[in-house]
Amino acid sequence: MATLLRKIGLIRLHNRDTEDPKHHHHHRSSQQGSSLRAKGSQKNSSNKPPPGSAGGGGCSSSSSGGEGSPGGHRSKKAPEPARQPAQPGPGGGRERPREAARDPGSVKESKAALGSGGRPGSAPLGPLPSGSAPLVPAGRQQHCTQVRTRRLMKELQDIARLSDRFISVELVDESLFDWNVKLHQVDKDSVLWQDMKETNTEYILLNLTFPDNFPFSPPFMRVLSPRLENGYVLDGGAICMELLTPRGWSSAYTVEAVMRQFAASLVKGQGRICRKAGKSKKSFSRKEAEATFKSLVKTHEKYGWVTPPVSDG
């Protein structure tokens, strides 16, 4: 019996000693590797980035979890906006966008509100009609009309009270802003006065039109008849006087004062009544007078109120 037991023990020792040691080592290593892989997979499952990110391992964007994950579980996640691609985070995960995508409709409404010059939600301003100019406020225009009317009414009253009957006024088509003024007297020692006596000319007729902003702008004044030469009377009946220009005008000037100045300039400039055949019967033209006056104003602005060169007329 003892001999049998010793043989059995020797056989077991022999079998144990004859087993491949590499097999034991491989089996033990495989068990340790399985344990380590199980622990590593559990650890990586918490840090594994969703598919579609830089660390997604090329997974399709339609799936959010790998089929070979330890639990085989798929988590559903809302699709990200196309305009804001996800950026990989420092830990391999995706960073959440700082602000949500804006609604396209709200963006358009904000731009429309800002473009209209108002606050969001306000109605946009309509465009001005094509070719339209800014209108003068009705209140200001009415005020200018009142100032001009009061001034001209006073002027008419003062002229009617003149004792020497130096000038007289007739309204053109009953318009308070368009006058025909008759100059009845000039210096009686002048050649012009002699011409008036010889030609039976009772007066020199002038036309004055008053602008909207009179008395702050000068009237336009021109000679109608008779046809004069020299005396600072130019083509069309235009009058070369500095006080009739915007630069030389003052709102303190009255119509009477302007007419007296004109009578003096006629004498000083050696004005004469034209007696040339044919030319004396030709009447002055308003259009020609306006063009001449604009030209002389431009010339005097360049050279001042002195005698300009002959080349400039």
Just list the catalytic residues.
240
Those residues with Cβ within 8 angstroms of residue 213's Cβ, 6 or more apart along the chain or in another chain:
144, 148
Give the H or E element holding residue 156. Answer: helix 138-160
Is-contact 255 208, C-beta < 8 A?
yes
Is-contact 65 75, C-beta < 8 A?
yes
Is-contact 238 227, C-beta < 8 A?
no
CA separation for the pair 263, 249 (Å, rounded): 17
CA separation for the pair 273, 8 (Å, rounded): 168
CA separation for the pair 197, 203 (Å, rounded): 10
